[in-house]
């Protein structure tokens, strides 16, 4: 309701919103509902409070805020969109990690790999360790903005990893295949080879998408050795 009016321009950037009581009366809802709606709008970067003055529409809607579903209808994100974003970010992060990793970074990667090995062996969920591995690569790249961004969107990325670590995925060998790809990325980072690290990361993302029945448009034109064999 209120979000739609802001995004449509009915409430202009910089305009002060009506008082909470007036909004509640206008929309025929309780003031608690209005407060909750305004809190969500703040989280999405659409409005901001000014102490002692009130709530104002942001001058730049969503500036400084990134949410995967902000402004989109439920379920609007395709799996392809998530993987394309991962491909862009994670391949570049792996290249930088190969050039800038520290012994501490390598220890974090090794720890995440060990936890995933254990999950494969036990038939357990390794999504959190998988998340940690990719976040550790981003941190190892030495760019705090990349590290923070990957950590921030990690929850959305987790959803794209979950099928691999499901019981069915483990039984079908999907988790084991993903772990082999993780080790290829890790080995290239340890070797300090950014080209190999980027290639291994791209191959992992392309293959991970394929395991979910998704063919990435960005994978077309990638060299054959990046693509590898499709896992059934």
- Domain residue spans of the chain: 2-57, 79-227
Cα dist. 115→4, 111, 121, 124, 162 in Å?
Answer: 44, 6, 10, 10, 16
pLDDT attached to residue 91: 94
Please tell me the distance from the alpha carbon of residue 94 to that of residue 217, in angstroms, as a whole number.
21
pLDDT attached to residue 64: 55
Please tell me the distance from the alpha carbon of residue 95 to that of residue 130, in angstroms, as a whole number.
18
pLDDT attached to residue 219: 52
pLDDT per residue, tens digit, the chain (232 aa), is 788 888 788 888 888 999 989 889 888 889 898 888 888 888 777 888 888 889 998 876 655 555 655 554 444 457 788 888 889 999 999 999 999 999 999 999 999 999 999 999 999 999 999 999 999 999 999 998 888 888 877 767 787 788 899 999 999 999 999 999 999 999 999 999 999 999 999 999 999 999 888 888 655 444 444 444 433 3
pLDDT attached to residue 214: 87
pLDDT attached to residue 67: 60
Assigned fold of 2-57:
Arc Repressor Mutant, subunit A (1.10.10)
> Rounded to 5 degrees, what are φ and ψ at 17?
-75, 150
3-state secondary structure of 191: helix
pLDDT attached to residue 221: 44
Residue 79: both structure tokens together: 């799996």
3-state secondary structure of 37: helix
CATH 1.20.120.530 fits domain 79-227: yes
Beta strands, E only, 21-172: 47-50, 54-57
- SS3 sequence of 41-60: HHHCCCEEEECCCEEEECCC
pLDDT attached to residue 198: 97
**pTM greater than the 0.85 cutoff:** no
């Amino acid at each position: 309701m209120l979000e739609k009016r802001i995004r449509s321009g009915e409430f202009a950037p910089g305009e002060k919103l009506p008082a909470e009581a007036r909004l509640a009366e206008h929309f025929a809802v309780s003031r608690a509902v209005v407060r909750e709606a305004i809190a969500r709008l703040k989280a999405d970067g659409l409005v901001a409070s000014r102490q002692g003055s009130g709530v104002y529409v942001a001058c730049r809607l969503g500036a400084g805020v990134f949410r995967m579903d902000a402004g989109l209808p439920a379920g609007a994100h395709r799996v392809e969109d998530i993987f394309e974003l991962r491909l862009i970010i994670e391949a570049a992060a792996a290249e930088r990690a190969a050039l800038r990793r520290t012994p501490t970074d390598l220890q974090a990667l090794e720890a995440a790999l060990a936890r995933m090995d254990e999950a494969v062996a036990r038939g357990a969920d390794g999504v959190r360790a998988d998340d940690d591995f990719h976040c550790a690569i981003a941190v190892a790249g030495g760019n705090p903005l990349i590290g923070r961004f990957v950590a921030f969107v990690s929850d959305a990325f987790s959803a794209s990893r979950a099928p691999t670590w499901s019981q069915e995925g483990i039984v079908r060998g999907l988790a084991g295949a993903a772990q082999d790809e993780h080790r290829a990325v890790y080995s290239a980072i340890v070797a300090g080879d950014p080209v190999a690290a980027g290639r291994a990361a791209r191959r992992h993302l392309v293959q991970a998408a394929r395991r979910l029945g998704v063919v990435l448009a960005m994978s077309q034109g990638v060299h054959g050795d990046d693509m590898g064999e499709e896992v059934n």
